[in-house]
């Protein structure tokens, strides 16, 4: 069967942990970090006004990774990612109207608390409350999130979501936001230190307004993805 009408696009699912909704407990107010995904709003039909993953058609003179980096730079002015990897292929013949379009998705991660400048039609949206999404982009976000959650268990991929130096409480918040359940700080420290994922920097954080003992600062041992325990699985409390 001739396939000259089949086109190929690359789409990026870019996540970042960002400050989220305010949580009130007794007399205390705190802003709970949330995992967000980068989306842009379609200005033309089909599905005008729906939110989409950044990306576009693959050129004949570029590979997939080159294409997705170009799309992110050109369309949403995002040039620096701490991590980028190819995820999956979506090939349903009817996934978009018109000529057949095969899509390859990429997982991209931006560290906390970076604040890249974005065009007016592009925003971060909490993964837990996505807006109306175009085509099959909603399932693409869900698939990427599932893959990220799995990698948080058996790899050191947290390096791409965390600052270069951090207190354990900050790292705990990043894990909680990404996994979408509570993580015990002491257990997290024990697991990651035992696997050689994080190490102390030898410095301490500045004291906050409430005073108290300054927290020790840590950093990720590596800034490239590696498997730390291929059989590991972080699980919610009580599971």
Shared domain for 146 and 165, answered yes or no, is: no
Taking residues 170-178, what's their average pLDDT?
Answer: 96
Residue with tokens 């498997």, as numbered in its chain:
227
| CATH number of the domain residue 125 falls in | 3.90.79.10
Structure tokens at 129: 């409350």
Q: Among 145, 196, 147, 191, which Cα is nearest to 17's?
A: 145
Shared domain for 19 and 71, answered yes or no, is: yes
Domain-embedded: residue 44: yes
Looking at residue 206, what is its pLDDT?
Answer: 74
Confidence band of 159 (pLDDT split at 50, 70, 90): very high
Cβ contacts of 60 within 8 Å, gap of 6 or more: none
Looking at residue 236, what is its pLDDT?
Answer: 78
Confidence band of 1 (pLDDT split at 50, 70, 90): very low
129 lies in which domain range?
A: 7-153
CA dihedral angle for residue 75, residue 76, residue 81, residue 85, rounded to 10 degrees: -50
- Which of 153, 176, 191 is the C-terminal boundary of a domain? 153
Domain-embedded: residue 108: yes
Cβ contacts of 15 within 8 Å, gap of 6 or more: 35, 36, 37, 38, 107, 108, 109, 110, 127, 144, 145, 148, 161, 178
- Which of 153, 175, 191 is the C-terminal boundary of a domain? 153
Shared domain for 16 and 93, answered yes or no, is: yes
Domain-embedded: residue 225: no
Residue with tokens 């207190």, as numbered in its chain:
167
Confidence band of 3 (pLDDT split at 50, 70, 90): very low
Confidence band of 29 (pLDDT split at 50, 70, 90): low
Domain-embedded: residue 228: no
Residue 17: strand pairing partners: 35
Looking at residue 93, what is its pLDDT?
Answer: 95
Percent of the chain with pLDDT over 70: 91
Helices (H), the chain: 64-76, 137-154, 168-179, 185-194
Shared domain for 108 and 210, answered yes or no, is: no
Average pLDDT across the chain, whole number = 90
Shared domain for 131 and 192, answered yes or no, is: no
Write the pLDDT tens digit of every residue in 46-100.
999 999 999 999 999 999 999 999 999 998 889 889 999 999 999 999 999 999 9
105 SS3 class? strand
Shared domain for 105 and 173, answered yes or no, is: no
pTM: 0.91
190 SS3 class? helix
Q: How many CA atoms lie within 13 A of 90 on its CB side?
A: 22
Domain count, the chain: 2
Looking at residue 211, what is its pLDDT?
Answer: 56
Domain-embedded: residue 116: yes
Looking at residue 125, what is its pLDDT?
Answer: 97
Looking at residue 21, what is its pLDDT?
Answer: 60
Separation of alpha carbons 71 and 55, rounded Å: 5
Shared domain for 139 and 164, answered yes or no, is: no
């Amino acid at each position: 069967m001739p396939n000259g009408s089949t086109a190929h696009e690359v789409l990026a699912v870019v996540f970042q942990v960002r400050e989220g909704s305010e949580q009130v407990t007794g007399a205390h107010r705190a802003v709970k970090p949330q995992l967000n995904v980068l989306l842009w709003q379609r200005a033309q039909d089909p599905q005008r006004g729906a939110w989409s993953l950044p990306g576009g058609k693959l050129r004949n003179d570029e590979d997939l990774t080159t294409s997705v980096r170009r799309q992110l730079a050109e369309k949403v002015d995002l040039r620096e990612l701490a991590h980028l990897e190819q995820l999956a292929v979506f090939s349903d013949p009817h996934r978009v109207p018109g000529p057949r379009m095969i899509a390859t998705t990429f997982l991209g991660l931006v560290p906390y608390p970076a604040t890249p400048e974005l065009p007016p039609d592009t925003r971060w949206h909490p993964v837990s409350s996505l807006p109306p999404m175009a085509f099959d982009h909603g399932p693409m976000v869900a698939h990427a999130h599932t893959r990220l959650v799995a990698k948080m268990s058996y790899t050191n991929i947290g390096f791409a979501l965390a600052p270069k130096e951090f207190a354990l409480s900050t790292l705990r918040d990043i894990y909680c936001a990404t996994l979408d359940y509570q993580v015990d700080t002491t257990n997290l420290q024990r697991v990651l230190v035992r696997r050689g994922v994080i190490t102390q920097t030898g410095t301490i954080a500045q004291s906050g307004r409430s005073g108290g003992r300054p927290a020790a600062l840590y950093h990720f041992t590596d800034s490239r993805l590696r498997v730390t325990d291929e059989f590991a699985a972080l699980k919610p409390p009580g599971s």
